[in-house]
Amino acid sequence: MDLGLVGKVALVTGSSRGIGRGIATRLVAEGADVVFCARGSEALDEAVAAANGPGRAHGVVADVATEEGAAAVVDGAVSVFGGLDIVVNNVGGSGASTFDGLDTEDLDAVLRKNVVPSVLVSRAALPVLRARGGGVITMVASIFGRELGGGPGYNLAKAAEISLAKTMARDLAKDSIRVFSVSPGSVLFPGGSWERRQREDPEGITAFVQREIPWGRFGTVAEIAAAGKPAIFIPFPFAADDHQTRNAQALASNGAAMVIAEKDLSAISASLPPPTSPPASAREYCAPGIPC
């Protein structure tokens, strides 16, 4: 499948590990030239070195929660690859686990980990995207920005990113800049919060998975970064010329947790051949007339 990414330039924030690294690595594999970025150089250098083309990979050390850092990663894309077509706002982080812990300091911190970088990087990228005649901006939010779960500040920040993407899509459509959000469910990867929780409380996490995730396991980075599946994030189809009217969508990839209505499941199931193995998400395939 030609995903229309050869010759495209992408920027993925928070791409030294986890979902961000998976997205950036897959973009390189599909032919895009990609700027990886993170605050530390060691893991970033490793991620860049491990990315296999035909696309090229370049790393920029920057704190994208600052205007200087946001400008640095965009400037890196322009200076090394000559422009920018795709922005993936992936960087984020959590805060207090209960409302009692959500004081102003915690709220400010969690917004600066999630929403502020998305705003700063997107704004820094606008002149370059406009000069290219358009582009794509994607927010990696969370299922907890749509449904119950997670800490209050984190939920608020991720809901804000979903809302921000819709507002930006409306405002930037005149510039041929499309904006999306994706809401991954619980994804297990080395160094991530679920790995830490699983290590600290294996029985509790096993019970959580059995109780909350119908597919019976965590998602994987590879599934979130998979190409060619219409309800899994990744801006691959969004970069192609035949998707110019697809805009402002909020996509979910969550192992059927919490958000799929029974009628949606039956309609999707009726339209599919029996899978050889369970898909990563009940929205991995889209039935006609069913929003993805």
- Contact between residue 92 and residue 140 where contact means Cβ atoms under 8 Å apart: yes
Determine how β-strand 86-89 pairs with β-strand 57-61.
unpaired
* 116 HSE (CA, 13 A, CB side): 15
Alpha-helical runs (H) found in 173-252? 193-200, 202-212, 221-224
Q: Say which of 36, 81, 154, 238 is annotated catalytic.
A: 154
Supply the DSSP symbol for 9. Answer: E
* Residue 285 among the catalytic residues: no
Place of tokens 């980990």: 113
- In angstroms, the CA 126 to CA 124 distance is 6
Using alpha carbons, list the distances in angstroms from residue 168 to 91, 181, 186, 248: 18, 11, 26, 8
Q: Which residues are tagged catalytic?
A: 154
